Structure 1
Amino acid sequence: MTSQETRGTWSSREQPQPMQSTGSMYTRHSTYSTTPRNNFCTQPKSSYMNTRTTPHPTSTHHLRKRTEAKRYVIEDFRQAFERKGMELDTTKKLGRGKYSKVYKAVDRINNRVVAVKAIDILELTSDVKNKFLPREISCWRKLKNPFLVGLHAQYEAQNMIFLTMEYGSQGDLLRYVQENGGINERRAGQFMSQLMRGLQYMHLKQIAHRDIKLENIILFDNCVKLSDFGFVRQVENQALSLTFCGSKSYSAPELLRGIEYNPFLSDVWSLGVVGFVMVTNRMPFDEKKPNNVIVELQRKRQYVIPSTVYLTTSCISSFESMMTFEAKHRPTSSDCLALPWITPHLVDNHSG
């Protein structure tokens, strides 16, 4: 594998040697009480793809052999990774989603540490397999920016897809805030300027993220980067979206109201919520409340900034501008670069 993005397929004749997993079960880190953990999507959800069918009573043994799919785990491909010059570390998962798990690996050929996202195709719903996953990979290949987690390579073997990507040694922003509390306004402003640069780049390429939240922001040594492009969408001619996906507590009012929305402007709202959480160590709105109640709270800006947290007018006015209730009055990601909390830190940005 070279330093350029690559795609490879391990031959189906190259059967991986089954190995016993050494990895422990990963428990996703707990959240503070008001932080959402669930994603929602009001698109019709299909059941898991069937991996077996009911055999005909007269040919049970023969049909089972033909219809049952062998299930693989990442440990089964350790030797295949080694032949690519990569040493897997499966002792601890970096993260996990409904259909994937993320591990750490050392890329000996390119002398770098990478993250490996392992996706079990047999676990995917038809929507994810046929629409969201191909869209994620297609859009991700187009994104080359210092403030977006980069895709290095894609490999396919048996029922698995592996995506290797940049590795952030400091974990995600949610864990950082949980362990360290709120981030001081100046450093949070630096983070916001970097994230907005990454988001503006995506939007200029007509790609919306649609799932911006602290869990999907990764800390590197000198910057933060947006990650997890599972809900990205290429948006042509300012088309509106009717796929209501993402995390409820980060969702713009138009999504909670169930009306068609501009995904670029909903991204801006979500990043505004990220900014609020970074400096206050709390969510502005409680996802446990009904959607219509949250919408009214959003309309009236009824959130609480802890009395122990001092924020400047520049900071408050900036995230309030990003969380403008009416989408048509909300600034674009390009407009947000001129916000008083973000602009002073643009010159501090590093390439990552």
Structure 2
Amino acid sequence: MEKYEEVKDIGDGNYSVVKLIRHIDTKSLFAVKYIPRGHTVDERVAREIINHRSLRHPNIIEFKEVFLTPTHIAIVMEYAASGDLFDYVCSQGTLSEDKARYVFQQLISGVSYCHDMEICHRDLKLENTLLDGKRIKICDFGFSKSYLLHSTPNSRIGTPSYIAPEIFSGKEYNGKLADIWSCGVMLYIMLVGELPFGDQKDLQNLKKTMNKIMLVQYKIPDTVHISQHCRNLISRIFVANPMKRISMREIKSHPWFLENLPKESIKEAQDVNYTKENPIYSLQSIEEIMNIIEEAKILATTSSSDQLEDLTEALKKM
């Protein structure tokens, strides 16, 4: 931490604290995610760091570096100053079809890139989509899996109201096609201002929510006026059988998606010289990062879970 200074808290989760930090020399702002050392540094944390490190795209929060403090492992990332998409949609109520399309085009650009890099996100939602001005930035790769490094997805993880039907089966599934379903949920919420499969009361009853998703029980209210092209795209995303669901390639050639497609975003994405064949990773090597992750696990043998919770609470108050 000698090259950074803490500015303020940004947020916290079950196992992590996120703070805004400033580089002392350059004055650049970054977000840092602190995860307590010990038993919380598991395979999921390793996947989050390694997968995120391998991605660089205008619509994905950029990974910077990872380091250790005496009590935490810290993941330094690009800072998006305009909050998240959930708060933005809540403040607007609903988005116009043009605004929703503009966000969706960027979302698909980022997710499609992840898939090209053989990574599925598995927890796409409004809260995991940050805003930097008008640009969206996908974040939080804690549930992500790489088809190059990890086993085929088969676990029931993600946020219930965004989960694709096949995830509930408990069998192996295609994480990329499940991501497409989640993108559809995000589009629906932006346009309608509600969840497509149940309301907040339904979310308290997971079985009820699951049944609605499995049966694809959704409708667009009569009070919401959107084009037939948009309705067609949503209906092709919300298909229970993943093999019959619209593909990423088909989404990117759909008439609704192509309308008013921002040329600067396409050019910027193409200008990022970053592919599986020609990767541009962070300055830290995988070996260095894996050594840091392994060292971060050590505290598990010397501290109890209560002590780890105390350390996290203390960090929140710093």
AA partner of residue 35 (structure 2): I
Paired with 2:142 and 2:197, the residues of 1 have a C-alpha distance of 24
Contact 1:177 1:281 in 2 (8 A): yes
Paired with 2:214 and 2:72, the residues of 1 have a C-alpha distance of 45
AA partner of residue 338 (structure 1): S
Partner of 2:7: 89
SS of the residue 1:246 aligns to: coil
User: Taking every aligned residue pair, what percent have the same amino acid on both sides?
Assistant: 30
AA partner of residue 155 (structure 1): F
Instruction: Report matched runs for 1:193-212 at 5 Å.
Output: 193-212=105-124
Paired with 1:157 and 1:337, the residues of 2 have a C-alpha distance of 43
For residues 74-127 of structure 1, give each alpha carbon's deviation from its aligned partner in whole angstroms, at most 9, with x where no partner exists.
xxxxxxx3x30x22123xx32222111111122243342211111112461xxx
Instruction: Report matched runs for 1:1-352 at 5 Å.
Output: 81=1, 83-84=2-3, 86-90=4-8, 93-122=9-38, 124=40, 129-236=41-148, 240-286=152-198, 287-291=203-207, 293-298=208-213, 300-350=215-265, 351=268
SS of the residue 2:32 aligns to: strand
AA partner of residue 237 (structure 2): M
AA partner of residue 330 (structure 1): R
Q: TM-score, normalised by structure 1?
A: 0.69
Which stretch has the larger CA shift, 305-314 or 162-171? 305-314
For residues 250-295 of structure 1, give each alpha carbon's deviation from its aligned partner in whole angstroms, at most 9, with x where no partner exists.
000011233321111000001110010011110011233443x545
Looking at secondary structure, tell me which structure has more helix per residue.
2
Contact 2:197 2:218 in 1 (8 A): yes
Q: From the superposition, tell whether residues 298 and 130 of structure 1 become closer, same or farther in structure 2 (CA, over 3 Å).
A: closer
SS of the residue 2:259 aligns to: helix
Contact 1:240 1:260 in 2 (8 A): yes
Q: From the superposition, tell whether residues 109 and 314 of structure 1 become closer, same or farther in structure 2 (CA, over 3 Å).
A: farther
Which stretch has the larger CA shift, 238-247 or 186-195? 238-247
SS of the residue 1:261 aligns to: coil
**Uncovered stretches (5+) of structure 1, i.e. residues with no partner:** 1-80
Residue 296 of structure 1, CA deviation: 4.7
Structural RMSD (CA) = 2.2
Q: From the superposition, tell whether residues 183 and 232 of structure 1 become closer, same or farther in structure 2 (CA, over 3 Å).
A: same
Residue 302 of structure 1, CA deviation: 2.5
Paired with 2:35 and 2:211, the residues of 1 have a C-alpha distance of 39
SS of the residue 1:171 aligns to: coil
Q: TM-score, normalised by structure 2?
A: 0.77
Contact 1:210 1:266 in 2 (8 A): yes
AA partner of residue 104 (structure 1): L
Residue 215 of structure 1, CA deviation: 0.4
Paired with 1:302 and 1:267, the residues of 2 have a C-alpha distance of 19
Which stretch has the larger CA shift, 306-315 or 106-115? 106-115
Q: From the superposition, tell whether residues 188 and 106 of structure 1 become closer, same or farther in structure 2 (CA, over 3 Å).
A: same
Paired with 1:156 and 1:87, the residues of 2 have a C-alpha distance of 15
Paired with 1:228 and 1:218, the residues of 2 have a C-alpha distance of 10
Relative contact order, CA 8 A, sep 6+: which one is greater? 2
SS of the residue 1:318 aligns to: helix
AA partner of residue 14 (structure 2): K
SS of the residue 1:346 aligns to: coil
Partner of 2:295: none
Q: From the superposition, tell whether residues 345 and 236 of structure 1 become closer, same or farther in structure 2 (CA, over 3 Å).
A: farther
Residue 169 of structure 1, CA deviation: 1.2
Residue 203 of structure 1, CA deviation: 0.6
Q: From the superposition, tell whether residues 290 and 310 of structure 1 become closer, same or farther in structure 2 (CA, over 3 Å).
A: same
Residue 348 of structure 1, CA deviation: 4.5
**Uncovered stretches (5+) of structure 2, i.e. residues with no partner:** 270-318
AA partner of residue 309 (structure 1): V
Paired with 1:326 and 1:289, the residues of 2 have a C-alpha distance of 24
AA partner of residue 89 (structure 2): V
Paired with 2:128 and 2:28, the residues of 1 have a C-alpha distance of 22
Q: From the superposition, tell whether residues 238 and 345 of structure 1 become closer, same or farther in structure 2 (CA, over 3 Å).
A: farther
AA partner of residue 188 (structure 2): F
